[in-house]
Amino acid sequence: MAALEATDAYADATELDSSLPGALADYERKLLLATSSLVVCPNEACGYVFEQHMTTPSKASVVPPTPARARDDNGVPLTPRAHAHHRDYRFRCRRCATIFCAGCNAIPYHTGMDCASAAATAACGACRYCAKPLSPETTAENPTDAPALDKVCVDEACLAKRAIACRVTHVCGHACGGVKREKRCLPCLEPECAPADAQITADDYCSICWVDDIRSAPSIELACGHVFHYSCVTARLDARWPDAHISFAFLDCPLCNAPIAHKVLAKRLRPLQRLQGEVLALARHALHTEMLAGNSEVAFISDAAIAAYASSQRYYLCSKCDHPYHGGAAACEAAGDAHPPILTPSFARTHKCRFCCNLATWLCWGTTHFCDACHDIAPIIARKPFHELSPCTCSRVHPPNGIEFSYGCSMCCALEEAPPVRKSDRAEAKAARKAAKAQAKAARKAAKAQAKAARKAAKARSKAEKAAAKVASRALAAAHAVHRARARGRPDARGKLVDQPQPPQRARALHELNR
């Protein structure tokens, strides 16, 4: 046998000579393998044989200590027992480079565990979320009887994922990767179960976080057909817009830009969709105002036109009332250093143009309001002294042009501009309301009386019909009795005898005589 170089820091190996012919070589091999110091490479295609030399106490003084930074596959520092097992049983085959355990022939070597612990871990499997090997100590107890929640470790992140996970097991045997309270479970996305034309499998990364694959967390399938981690979608919705101004790109699928829709997200989407409706309402009002100011014909404004106009403007959320307000056009913010205030005095305030009496439609430089006409010459008009600005052309009370001023609530302004109401008008309106009220009361009373009379007439008519039906029934019964009496020659109901039926000739003769 030829001595070989050690394959581990503390293990020596010797290769067996396999050149002996025939049965003698096989007998020699079996005899040598019976010795406890020989180790065979568990790779079936290799079969390389090592001679193991265990570290003895006499050599302990010359054996260098294992580095303190030695860790297992999960980054946990090795214990002294794990160090000793690693030193004596970890081998790398010189022929095929297979790393294995000489104690249990495990491929690869179970770093950080002895053979018994590795066997227990193999029986427990791996965590379905973090894929870390499980052991009886690290396996979380299943609070339900659902097998889909069995293989989960005690890590807090994995337990949080299990709390929202679906408890259904598919027919194929794989656990459902969706969330609980879904009426229709997420289809199995494992590569061996997913259809050939599937857009995504469990091995693919989530297109929102790009950190973990789909099986690493409970996922949902949106209405557009794309699958994402449930936690990633909720985090995207909770984060909302990334900038100071409001934008609604976070409400769309990151892959196809279709609106995010799922039944488990309905409660979370409702306030966001309400906010989007408020912003579109502000955009509709501003667009209508601009069309009136430009003397253009105001026709039906489509939803697409409103959405396009809203995307060209900047809207911000008031930190006091949590309602959006118009902060000007996006062009002003793109010009540089445009930071509209986050806090507004009140909701739905309208401002006067700083340089004239028109209604402001632009907010620039964070503090200056412009109308459309003044905004077109903003660099020129902003440098003019106050006395060179145009005089007041409206009937409202406000500071001289050149000073910022707010008209206040648009609804209050509309009420102030309405003509005053005279006392006579109020009296007439009160009398009209009183007359209308009396007329409505009389109409209700008449309708009530008419309905009562109709019910009474219907009741009498029904009673008469019942009496007539009763009389007709009695007459019919009497006629039947007379007919039966005549047929049998017996007295009728009044006690009179009934003649026996006569032959036809005699009956005709009697009839002629009686005439």
398 and 413 Cβ atoms separated by less than 8 Å: no
CB 412 within 8 A of CB 422: no
What count of Cα atoms within 13 Å lies in the side-chain half-sphere of residue 232? 22
332 has catalytic annotation: yes
Q: Pick the closest to residue 252 from 223, 217, 275, 277 (CA basis).
A: 223
23-59: b or e for each residue (b if 16 or more CB lie within 10 Å)?
Answer: eeeeeebeeeeeeeebbbbbbeeeebbbbbeeeeeee
180: tokens are 């609980």
Question: DSSP assignment of 340-384, as one string?
Answer: --S--SSTTEEEB-SSSSSBP-EEETTTEEE-HHHHHTHHHHTTS
Give the span between the Cα atoms of 163 and 367, in whole angstroms.
Answer: 49
d(CA 373, CA 361): 10
Question: CB of 124 within 8 A of CB of 151?
Answer: yes
What is the identity of the amino acid at 330?
A
**Is 232 considered catalytic here?**
no
What amino acid occupies position 106?
A
What lies within 8 Å, CB to CB, of 417 at 6+ separation is none
Residue ranges of the alpha helices (H) in 187-229? none
Relative to beta strand 49-51, strand 38-40 is: antiparallel
Q: Three-class SS string for 385-400? A: CHHHCCCCCCCCCCCC
Report whether 323 contacts 305 (CB < 8 A): no
DSSP structure class, residue 149 = G
Using CA atoms, how far apart are residues 334 and 245, in angstroms rounded to an integer? 12
Picking from 327, 359, 362, the residue whose alpha carbon sits closest to that of residue 342 is 327
CA 111, distance to chain mean position in Å, is 42
Query: Exactly one of 41, 153, 206, 332 is catalytic; which is it?
Result: 332
Burial class for 289, CB neighbours closer than 10 Å (0-12, 13-18, 19+): middle
266-293 and 303-311 are packed helices; what angle lies between their axes, rounded to 10 degrees? 90
- In Å, what is the CA distance from 146 to each residue of 175, 260, 391, 470? 10, 30, 79, 72
346 phi, psi to nearest 5 deg:
-160, 170
Candidates 41, 166, 364, 374; catalytic one:
364
Q: Which residues are identified as catalytic? A: 332, 364
